[in-house]
Amino acid sequence: MFKVKFENGPEYEASAPISVYDAAKEAGIISREIIAAVVDEKTVDLTHPLDRDCTVRLCTFDDAEGKHAFFHTASHIMAQAIKRLYPEAKLTIGPAIETGFYYDIDRDEPFTQEDLPKIEAEMKKIVNENYKLERFTLPREEAIKFMEEKDEPYKVALIARVPEGEEISFYRQGEFVDLCAGPHLFSTGAVRAFKLTSLTGAYWEGDSKNKMLRRIYGVAFPNKTLLSEHMNMLEEAKRRDHRKIGHDLDLFDIYDEGPGFPFFLPKGMVLRNILEDFWREEHRKAGYEEIKTPMMLSRELWERSGHWDHYKDNMYTTKIDDRDFAIKPMNCPGGMLVFKRKIWSYRELPVRCGELGLVHRHELSGALHGLMRVRCFTQDDAHIFMRPDQIRDEIKGVYNLIDKVYKLFGFTYHVELSTRPENSIGTDEMWELATDGLRGALDDLGVNYVVNEGDGAFYGPKIDFHLRDCIGRTWQCGTIQLDMNLPERFDLTYVGADNEKHRPVMIHRVVFGSIERFIGILTEHFAGAFPLWLAPVQMTVTAIRTDINDYAREVYEKLDAAGFRVEFDDRNEKIGYKIREAQLQKIPYVLVVGDRERESGTVSVRSRKEENKAIVMPLDDFISSAKTEVETKAL
C-alpha cells in the first residue's frame, strides 16, 4: 500500500502501481482540463506510473507545467506533419518555450512562408486523427540504431551525448516517433487551435560554425478563442513595436554601422535623462550614494571575480601596455573595489552604492532585437553591503523601492523566489540564512510569490520581478540577489562589535534592469504616448493663421518659462494639418490660438486623450493644471 497526496485535494491510497490519471479519477478529481502533473517536483505525463508515497499536483493549461506539455505536444505534431510532407527533412530539436514552441529542421531546400499553410493543414489532419502519445525507452545502442534506421543524424548525435546509464526515452504518435524526455498530452486531439507564426534561421547548437537550420515557430491553445485573443495580442504588439515607434518619433535608432549599439537622438535623450533623474532622486531618498566605476578593468580583476573563466566569450578584450584588459560586462567587481577602499565599522553598515553603469556584452547577431537585446546598455545597479541581521530589512527596503517604481508606470507584476541550485557555493548555514532572509522579507510584506526550487544563482538565492504590460506580456526586469561569492573572493570585511573582522552579506539589485530595455518596454507599454511628465515634447503651440503668430509666440514663451518642453509651430500650413501632425507625434497637448483666444488671453486645448475635443481656458489655468499633472506623475 502507498499513499498519493493530491495538492489541494484528497489523499488516495493505492494497493498496486497506478497512473496519475487513474489515481486522480479514483479520487474523483479528474477533469478534461487536467493535462499534466507534477509528482514530487517532477513534471510528468498523466500516464506516468505511481508506485510509492508521493505528492501530486494536477496541472491545467493555466499552469506553466501544463502549458509546457501542451506546447511540447504541438511541436511533435508539427514535426510529424513536416516528415509527412517533406520526408527528406532531418529533425534536430523542438522544445516548448514560454510563448509557444519551435522546431529546428535541416532541409536542403529551405522552407518559405508559403510552406507554413501546408504544414498547418497537415497538422489539422494529425489532430483529427487523435493519436495517443506513447512513451517507451531503449538502451543506448538500440536507441542509436533506431534513429540511424530512421536516418536522423542529429538525433543520433544527441543520444551519443547522453551519459552512460541515463534513461533514453521516445514518444510515438501514429507512424511518427521522436526522441524526447517529455512530458506530453494524452493525445494529439487535445491541441485544438494552433498557428505557425514565423520562420527564421538558426545554427545547430547556436554555433555559427555549424550548419544553418530553419526554425519554425508556432503557438497552440486548447480552443480557438484563446488562439484568437493571442493573435490579436501579437497584432497589437506589432503596432506597438518600439523599434518602429522609436524611429517614427525620432527617439532612438540602431544603424548598420553599429549592430546592437543603440543611438539615442535628442528627443530620446530627454526621455532617458528624465528616467535617470527620477532614478537618482528616488535612490537619494532611499539612502543610496551614487558611484561610477571604470568601463575597462584589468584581466586580473575579472579572474578574481570569476568572470574571466565563465564569461570571457561574451566580453570585449584588448591589451594595454602588454596587460590584458576587458570592457566590463557587469558593474559588480568595480563595486567590490569601492567597498574595499577603507575599513568599515559594523555601525556604518548597511552601505548602499548605486551606479548607472554602461556595460558591454558580445551577444550573437541573431539574438539582437532593438533596445530589448543589445551589446551595450546601462544597468541601474546597486550593491548593498550589510550585516547578516540586516538582511530582512534591506530586502524589504529594496522591494518597496521596486514596487513604487513599477506602480508609478502602471505595471502590475508577479514575484518569484529562486532557491539554492545544485552547483552552489557557500555553506549550508549561509544559504539558509540568505534564503530565510528573502522569504521572511516577502512574508513580512504579505507578498504572494512562487518558489522556483533550485533556480537561484550559484552564489545566492534571488527574487525576480516579472512585470506585465498593458497587453498582457511579461518582462523580467527587477531582481534582488544575495551574493556569498564576491565578498569571499574579494575578502570584504567589516569590524564587528567584538573588534573582529566579519564578512558582510551583499545584495545585487536592479530596478529598471537596463535603461535601454526599460525604455523599449515603456515605449511599447504606452505605444509611444508617454504620460506628460515623461513626454519628450509635452505640448505644441500653433495659430490658426500666421497673423496671430505673435500671440502664439507669447503663449509659447510663457509655457517655456514655466519649465515645460514646448514647441512652437509657426508654419504657414492649414491648422488641421498641424494638429494632425502633433497627434501623430503623440504630443500630449496641442494649444491652438485664434482671434477669440488672443482677445480673451485664453488657449484652446486639445488633449491627446480626447483628440476631437477642444477646451478653451485661461492660459494660467492650463499651466497650473499641467504642472500638477507633471508633479504627480499622473498616467
Give pLDDT tens digits for 192-230: 999 999 999 888 988 888 999 999 999 999 999 999 999
Q: Does domain 252-293+330-525 have CATH number 3.40.50.2300?
A: no
By the 10 Å C-beta count (0-12 exposed, 13-18 middle, 19+ buried), 128 is classed as exposed
From the list 340, 375, 407, 425, the residue with the least C-alpha distance to 261 is 375
Q: Are strands 539-543 and 589-593 parallel, antiparallel or unpaired?
A: parallel
Q: Is it the case that residue 132 has pLDDT exceeding 90?
A: yes
Catalytic amino acids? 332, 361, 379, 381, 383, 462, 508
The 10 Å Cβ neighbour count of residue 270 is 18
The structural domains of the chain, with segments of one domain joined by +, span 2-60, 71-238, 252-293+330-525, 294-327, 539-631
| Total residue length of the chain | 635
**Cell numbers describing residue 289:** 550614494
State the pLDDT at residue 187: 95
State the pLDDT at residue 209: 86
Topology of the domain covering 539-631: Rossmann fold (3.40.50)
Q: Is it the case that residue 8 has pLDDT exceeding 90?
A: no
**CB of 604 closer than 8 Å to CB of 594:** yes
| Span 10-35, average pLDDT | 90
Main-chain phi, psi angles of 532, to 5 degrees:
-55, -40
The 10 Å Cβ neighbour count of residue 458 is 15
pLDDT tens sequence across 393-415: 999 999 999 999 999 999 999 99
CATH class of 71-238: alpha beta
pLDDT tens sequence across 448-474: 998 888 888 877 899 999 988 887 888
Could you report how far apart the first and last alpha carbons of the chain are, in Å?
61
Q: How much is the mean pLDDT over the chain?
A: 93
- Local confidence band at 72 (pLDDT 50, 70, 90 cut-offs): very high
For residue 104, what are the CA distances in angstroms to 294, 531, 623?
Answer: 42, 42, 58
Spell out a b/e string for 530-545, using b for 16 or more CB atoms within 10 Å of the CB, else e. Answer: bbbbbbbbbbbbbbbe
How far apart, in whole angstroms, are the C-alpha atoms of residue 76 and residue 240? 32
Residue 352 bridge partners (DSSP): 384
Q: Is it the case that residue 366 has pLDDT exceeding 80?
A: no
pLDDT tens sequence across 367-401: 889 999 999 999 999 999 999 999 999 999 999 99
The 10 Å Cβ neighbour count of residue 607 is 13
CATH number of 2-60: 3.10.20.30
Residues in contact with 50: Cβ distance below 8 Å, sequence separation at least 6, in sequence order: 2, 4, 14, 17, 18, 19, 20, 23, 39, 56
Q: Which residue has the cell 573595489?
A: 337
Least confident of 89-98, 424-433, 472-481, 565-574: 424-433
The 10 Å Cβ neighbour count of residue 526 is 20
Q: Is it the case that residue 26 has pLDDT exceeding 90?
A: no
